[in-house]
Structure 1
Amino acid sequence: MSDLIPVSPSRRRLLGLIAVAPVAVVAACSTPIGTLSPEEGVRRLLTLSSQAAFARLIQPGGFYDDQLTRLTVPDAANGRGGAVLAAVLRTDAVQRRIAIAVNDVAVDAADRATPLVMDAISRMTFSDALAILRGGGSPATDLLRRETGGALVDAMFPEISAGLRGDAFEILTAALGARSGFDLGGIATSLSRQASDSIFRAIGREEAAFRADPRRTRDPLLIALLSGGRF
């Protein structure tokens, strides 16, 4: 487990929103059976999967404590700065400190990604929603990732870039920042891409879990659609 860090006010608000949102989805299930379209079914599946993924990721240690989503310190100093980076990271203790700091920054950056993902889901259209529902794996998440493109990377970059200049990274920045040609922005971009990839992997895992056990959705209509039922 990573070192405990306090939950920021903004993250507490976001956790509250995520906690409340599934209630709204389940409440919508009072709709009479027969009125849920496959397209709405995909949207509900993506919403539930994203809510579950972000609820995990934005907890303290949410990225670092999970092998599927853990970010690694990018070797942005490879080449001219490779020897310096190797010296800075020569001990396990330093490596772990920087890795935890990197992942904690990603937790904060996920605050920016969450509303973007939810908004994208609400606006998406599905040309063959039934095929998506009946498929295996995480086809809905794959489609969501294609639809959002690099928007998550762009959304998280400012937060990650600012985080790299924080006190937690004084070892890394002091050792490498003075080197000619060292690009802190390059590391921020790399971490933003990693964080985006981790978010979609987390959403995809939740989608696959809901498909494997539709009853976990607590949505009678979605259960029927995922189980191949007809209305």
Structure 2
Amino acid sequence: MTKFTEISANSSAETVLDRRKFLAGIGAGGALLALPGCESLGGFSMVDAVRRLLYLSSERAFTRLTAPGGFWDQQVAQIGLSNMLGTRGGIVSSILTSTIFKDRLEDAFADIAVEGAERAAPIVTDAVRLIGIQNAIALINGGPTAATGFLRESMGTTLVEAMVPELGQAMRIASEPLVGELLAGLTGINISGVAQNISTTVDNAIWSEMGVEESAIRANPRATNDPLLIGVLGAGRLL
């Protein structure tokens, strides 16, 4: 085993452990969403039901997005590369001389994108816990992604704005030598611009996945084993 292979193996193991700690952390946040409400729902209100729906949707979405070898690695592996590389002629050709080389570069950017998702997760959790919901019943009775759409509209560009500086820094100090070689070779590259593009793509992926998970929960609330969601969503639309 070469020294580089040993380093890569150790780095991969550390990444898996870090992601497990991250997912455990957002899972622990579920207890914070159990807020007292009206007695007709056993001590919970419709607002609590919407928050629980949003929290579970986000938890599942982030679990899928950050899982090694999962949706993220398969679908967003090339995140930011097209915006960064453009048509830089000989420089790009010399860097991307083989499939293996390109795959390593894509993996490096996938890891940076995962950092963005991990940074966004607690922001979403806090927003779910604190956000004011004017008409919770309408959201419960809404379409398959009504609650996710409401939260995204309420948060605006919060996630993108939070991720841009961090991802720009992650690119500058990336441990993958190929990232450094790429940044050094492409004279005049706008790292902030690339970080903005990556952050926007991460943002879109987060909300898309949350919508998928919300739809799945609405379609089969019993699968959540959550009494509140089963009681509210399982009985059909509320009047």
Structure 1-normalised TM-score? Answer: 0.80
2:102 is the counterpart of 1:95: yes
User: Equivalents in 1 of 2:73, 2:36: separation in Å?
Assistant: 34
* Match 2:172 to one of 165, 169, 178: 165
Given candidates 204, 211, 216, the residue that maps to 2:211 is 204
Q: Which residue of 2 aligns with 1:60?
A: 68
* Alignment partners' CA distance in 2, 1:184 and 1:225: 47
1-side partners of 2:134 and 2:145: how far apart?
A: 16
- Alignment-derived partner of residue 131 in structure 2: 124
Task: Tell me: higher relative CO, structure 1 or 2? Use CA pairs within 8 A at least 6 residues apart.
Answer: 1
Quote how far apart the aligned CAs of 1:169 are: 4.5
Pairing of 1:11-22 with structure 2 (within 5 A)? 11-22=19-30
Q: Structure 1 residues 37 and 6 mapped into 2: Cα distance closer, same or farther (>3 Å)?
A: same
How far apart are 1:27 and its partner, in Å?
10
TM alignment of 1:82-161, pairs within 5 A? 84-85=91-92, 87-161=94-168
Distance 1:146 1:99 in 2: 31
Contact 1:84 1:176 in 2 (8 A): no
Deviation at 1:90, TM superposition (A): 4.8
Structure 1 pair 78/7, CA: closer, same or farther in 2 (3 Å)? Answer: closer
- Contact kept in structure 2, 1:71 and 1:191, CA below 8 Å: no
Work out the CA distance in 1 between the residues paired with 2:171 and 2:65. 19
Distance verdict in 2 for CA 1:90–1:208, change over 3 Å: farther
Shift of 1:143: 1.4
Q: Is the 8 A contact 2:33 2:51 kept in 1?
A: no
Q: Is residue 74 of structure 1 aligned with residue 82 of structure 2?
A: yes
Question: Which residue number corresponds to residue 232 of structure 2?
Answer: 225
Task: Identify which range, 198-207 or 104-113, moves more after superposition.
Answer: 104-113
In structure 2, relative to structure 1, the CA distance for the partners of 1:84 and 1:192 (3 Å cut) is same
Partner residue, 1:36: 44
**Runs of 4+ in structure 1 displaced over 6 angstroms?**
26-29
Question: Among the aligned pairs, what percent are the same residue?
Answer: 34
For 1:185 and 1:224, the matched residues in 2 are separated by 47
The count of aligned residue pairs is 226
CA separation in 1, counterparts of 2:166 and 2:144?
A: 31
- Larger displacement relative to structure 2 (176-185 or 5-14): 5-14
Structure 1: gaps of 5 or more residues: none
Gaps spanning 5+ residues in structure 2: where? 1-8
Deviates more, 1:85-94 or 1:148-157: 85-94
Write 1 or 2 for the structure with the bigger share of helix: 2
Instruction: Give secondary structure in 2 for the equivalent of 1:121.
Output: helix
1:64 and 1:230 map into 2 onto residues whose CA distance is 36
Distance in 2 of aligned mates of 1:71 and 1:38: 41
Q: 1:193 aligns with which of 187, 200, 203?
A: 200
**CA shift at 1:211, angstroms?**
0.8
**One-letter amino acid of the counterpart of residue 51, structure 2:** R
Q: Which residue of 2 aligns with 1:182?
A: 189
